[in-house]
A = this chain, B = another copy of it.
Amino acid sequence: MTLLSSLGRVSRSAPLASKLLLLGTLSGGSIVAYSDSNTAVNKKEEQKKKKVVVLGTGWAGISFLKDLDITSYDVQVVSPQNYFAFTPLLPSVTCGTVEARSIVESVRNITKKKNGEIELWEADCFKIDPVNQKVHCRPVFKDDPEASQDFSLGYDYLIVAVGAQVNTFGTPGVRENCHFLKEVEDAQRIRRGVIDCFEKALLPGLTEEQRRRKLHFVIVGGGPTGVEFAAELHDFIQEDVTKIYPSVKELVKITLIQSGDHILNSFDERISSFAEQKFLRDGIDVQTGMRVLSVSDKDITVKIKSSGEVVSLPHGLILWSTGVGTRPVISDFMEQVEQGGRRALATNEWLQVKGCENVYAVGDCASIAQRKITEDIANIFKAADVDNSGTLTMEELRDVVDDILVRYPQVELYLKSKHMRNVNDLLADSEGNERKEVDIEAFKLALSEVDTQMKTLPATAQVAAQQGAYLAKCFNRMEQCKEQPEGPKRFRTGGHHQFRPFQYKHFGQFAPLGGDQAAAELPGDWVSAGKSTQWLWYSVYASKQVSWRTRALVVSDWTRRYIFGRDSSRI
């Protein structure tokens, strides 16, 4: 709308000819070109530019925007935050090991380097309308009537990267009485909350029971976030709180409640048990096999799964970190595209939402519905059997094997899981000898188990960032790949896919456990734990920062913590 107002300004002063020119430009697309000489050229360019609307500026959205070449797109971003947050460091913010501002970077700063302008609007998208190719948005400034008018944006391509929200599993009292740890504001609130607990426990007039209640920190969920928060809190209490709240340090207790049998159960077993042993030594009470029934402002009620016993625990502060749920705008969109009832938007392997080819979904709000190879076996066989002999020779197979491996990544995972070298091994006869050719039945039998290796990608920053970057690469070569498709064979319809499907590359995962110890699971089944792993963690997390500014700030925060400890001012 800068457009309309500048238009108004110009038309008041400019002669008729340029008015007409401007109107012509306006109808064409977006930015108004003032200079007469290159208007015609610009006009053509503008007309060609497709409108890309991006919802969200988390890991997926930002890595898409960073890598996108915007010379051929008109990009508009809608996000309730004007910054990107390095979420893996959120647990560190809760106790002041790292400052909130050190892990955020302005989106405008990240995107301004581009040779063009990306428009960003601080608003929430509350409705996606795929039929009219529009999104409806509401600015975040609720208390300002002028600046809270809903608006809508048309798109040619829509990138949905709004992330997920906390999953309370419908447990009563969770929204009212628990802290979450999804956003920077959450981490800041927890930091103030932790310090409040100590200040409250010191007040005159409380019984010892009440003081103990204030200083009972409960964490629900034994995933990486919950475990890291427990570790941070324990370090904060050991290293800093003992010095400034000496009179209540004996009353502090940390309890971690996990519904499964082990904490960190997405990690290797060795890491789970390393973490459990370290927490045992640290005095962090790990309670597994418990289900939370309800939460009040004073107590949390849990059911011990093994005995069926119901217990109430008093609490001062609860962190609820038990997996991800669906945002309302996504639920609504799923209803429209007949995906109702799912947790996340189903996309194909090219991250396109099933049922809307020009809508892409990336990050925690989406999940790839991998195509089963068993559904396509007949087509694959037919496409590979070029001489229509009814059997596949090894030569015929060799021509399509790469396409199969790219299109159905579960094949490679299956081969690996069975310790096979290649597809020939898979098609070997019952004695393990290579065959010269296979018929359709043998082919079906050989591939029948392959789909068991299909995996859903976890809701992590790593996945989201890779998806965003992948999508930007596709967009940057949209025209080029239309003419020269680079994807695998289309076994059903013939020809080739425009792009190679998205493939996730796992670089490992960390679990900081406090006391300068961390555990890590690295590619190739490497597992490491201890102090050196913490240093690896420091260097990886520093290198992964989105800008030199945040890198410098995070490293200086770590240094400051070593020298001065954590600050306990309640701001």
Contact = CB atoms under 8 A, between A and B. Distances in A.
A398 interface: no
Nearest to A152: B204
Interface stretch (A96-104, A231-239, A362-370, A524-532): A96-104
Nearest to A213: B146
A443 to B, nearest CB: 56
Contacts of A281: none
A101 B567 contact: yes
Contact of A568 (B6, B106, B203, B205): B106
Nearest to A207: B5
Interface string A136-180: 000101001011010100000000000000000000000000000
Interface in A456-494: none
B81 A570 contact: yes
Nearest to A200: B147
A5 B211 contact: yes
B569 A83 contact: yes
A56 B350 CA distance: 61
Interface in A556-571: 556, 560, 563-564, 567-571
Contacts of A332: none
Contacts of A560: 549, 552-553
Contacts of A570: 81-83, 122
B203 A569 contact: no
Given A211-B5, A245-B108, A567-B101, A121 B200 contact: no
A280 interface: no
Interface string A119-132: 11111000000000
A282 interface: no
Report copies per complex.
Answer: 2
A149 B530 CA distance: 46
A391 interface: no
Contacts of A204: 1, 121, 151
Contact of A571 (B185, B202, B211): B185
Interface string A186-222: 0010000001100110111111101101100000000
A501 to B, nearest CB: 35
A197 to B, nearest CB: 9
B202 A121 contact: yes
Contacts of A563: 549, 552
A569 B147 contact: no
* Residue among A112, A297, A552, A571 with the highest chain B CB neighbour number at 10 A: A571
Given A244-B108, A548-B564, A151 B569 contact: no
A437 interface: no
A211 to B, nearest CB: 7
B195 A82 contact: yes
Given A117-B247, A119-B202, 6 more contacts: A82-B568, A112-B243, A117-B246, A123-B203, A146-B200, A147-B214
18 contacts: A1-B204, A1-B205, A2-B247, A5-B207, A82-B568, A82-B569, A83-B570, A99-B99, A104-B569, A105-B567, A106-B244, A106-B568, A106-B569, A139-B200, A144-B200, A185-B571, A188-B571, A552-B564
9 residue pairs, one from A and one from B, having the closest CB atoms:
A83-B569, A147-B200, A5-B208, A108-B244, A549-B564, A1-B204, A122-B199, A104-B569, A151-B204
Interface of A: 1-2, 5-6, 8-9, 81-83, 99-101, 104-106, 108-109, 112, 117, 119-123, 139, 141, 144, 146-147, 149, 151, 184-185, 188, 195-196, 199-200, 202-208, 210-211, 213-214, 243-248, 297, 548-549, 552-553, 556, 560, 563-564, 567-571
